[in-house]
Structure 1
């Protein structure tokens, strides 16, 4: 089987989805314990919502001539969060495999004529905003290996670890992916000061993972942070910024602590967000992947595409 080119191996721009969880919670009114999307796939109503959500984004990609990195709904489908939701490993195994199967079916039915990559999503073991306890690299590798092996076995094109809060966990994910030979992307989340929740600068975190991991991640992303919170940390002549291949920003300028307490959706300004993406692209020469995170939806993606094309 011919391996698909990943975004960093191509000149094509790739769209991702937006804030799936916030869209499901605030726009569709689903009950989402632990902010987990995967349980919704067990109901007809939930599956229909996924189709509605992704269909609109496929259309945006088609209108704008981009590829599409199609994420699985498995950000919370790991052992600890599954246990919190009352699901054992056998159930989670089926959830992860079904998520990949569903993504492949979507690629066939909705992605005709598009370059679509099925991306197995890994989430943090703990809170994506507050790393209360930090694993060692070995512990992180062992923990995340289970889900990565299931996703790889189901045939994903790549895996991405979103909202990573600390360096050892990111290295562990990269090592686990290398062990089974699946390309890996690490996406760090940042605070309003442009640093990881553990205090490291983004450039230092990238350097540590690149220097320590068994194999370097294919590229890095930043997600779940507003562009204004980190744009001034990217200097004109910094080599490390070439390792950043993707961005999935929040619509809101709120801090993670404020977002945690927010009972209404802050969807920001889609046009302004698009402009900020275009400005960041001038600083990030290898930015190929763009989408959204908390508070964003199809409106934001459409504006981002418009701004990036101008």
Structure 2
């Protein structure tokens, strides 16, 4: 399996490449990608520099143009495709059918990877995208059980990529309306879940409060680690109890089921985290490179120290294998 790692800037790209990534995925400095944060992502100069560095080290570079264009801004998405292809990107990660069709108007064979934002969870969807747009790979949403992933991987006409580690979205990607409900801006169109312009931090009597569009999402005592405010992972008062109403912060970690994913025929494991630091990328890539090599070569697996390190880098300092462990389908 390939190890596909995130890069929010050139330094993160170098760390991923240096620590054993087979491919690195990036985004441009606009709303065409689903990690559109200030200070994040790549300029054309950065992309050229990153491609050169990665290719010199036998690593591919993918560009995520995986949000959904609105008609009035269509040119932005078209320009992003033109620019990425002209710069020599290895593949485009796309969710929108119109963007895929635009790519195919330019090239019959340019590699398209179906983004997780497309929410393709069944064989008929994969067949549709393959037959109509010639996709080569599909990234599955993080809502499928191991049995479902195995079944798809064995029947799919294209390669299957799954998320292996990082922040866990509890929704079916591409179908989340919570952010747009609260702020009017959606990660599916503007590329940001909890846009920074709507985030406020306030301290009252030593308690740190986080607000999203003036709605109190969570508050933290001095001894608690504060997380970035998202509506789905906020704490609310429900029937007199303050609790995580939807999902408590935790990270996905599929390291323990890597042999099963390998046996299923999964082509690539993806690490989430383009918004994370270069140091984070270096550590996670190194541990996962060794873990995947160990499965392939049947050598010693990562140490307990490695596992502890991954847990310490996780949301809420805890991990789960998420929907993979479901026994039902």
How would you bin the TM-score normalised by the shorter chain?
Answer: 0.5 to 0.7
Deviation at 1:303, TM superposition (A): 2.6
Secondary structure of the corresponding residue to residue 176 of structure 1: helix
1:288 aligns with 2:216: no
1:71 aligns with 2:40: no
More deviation, 239-248/293-302: 293-302
- Quote the RMSD (CA, aligned, Å): 4.2
- Out of 136, 144, 158, the residue aligned to residue 218 of structure 1 is 136
Written as runs of structure 1 = structure 2, the 5 A alignment for 1:79-118 is 96-107=43-54, 111-112=56-57, 115-118=58-61
Which ranges in structure 1 are unaligned for 5 or more consecutive residues?
1-12, 21-36, 42-49, 62-66, 86-91, 127-134, 191-195
| Residues 82, 185 of structure 1: alpha-carbon distance in 2 compared, 3 angstrom cutoff | closer
Deviation at 1:124, TM superposition (A): 1.1
| Residues 282, 142 of structure 1: alpha-carbon distance in 2 compared, 3 angstrom cutoff | farther
Q: Whose helix fraction is larger, Structure 1's or Structure 2's?
A: 1
After superposition, give the CA deviation of every residue in 1:84-139 in whole Å (9 maximum; x if it has no partner).
97xxxxxx9xx54223212124226xx44xx222322212137xxxxxxxx7xx99
Deviation at 1:140, TM superposition (A): 10
For 1:175, the equivalent position in structure 2 comes to 101
For 1:15, the equivalent position in structure 2 comes to 3
Deviation at 1:247, TM superposition (A): 2.5
User: Structure 2 CA distance, aligned partners of 1:275 and 1:238?
Assistant: 19
Deviation at 1:82, TM superposition (A): 11
- Out of 54, 79, 90, the residue aligned to residue 13 of structure 2 is 54
User: Structure 1 CA distance, aligned partners of 2:154 and 2:34?
Assistant: 37
1:243 aligns with 2:224: no
User: Structure 2 CA distance, aligned partners of 1:249 and 1:202?
Assistant: 20
User: Structure 2 CA distance, aligned partners of 1:158 and 1:106?
Assistant: 16
For 1:208, the equivalent position in structure 2 comes to 128
| Residues 289, 140 of structure 1: alpha-carbon distance in 2 compared, 3 angstrom cutoff | farther
Equivalent pairs counted in the alignment come to 217
Tell whether the 8 Å contact from 2:3 to 2:269 is kept in structure 1 after alignment.
Answer: yes
1:274 aligns with 2:255: yes
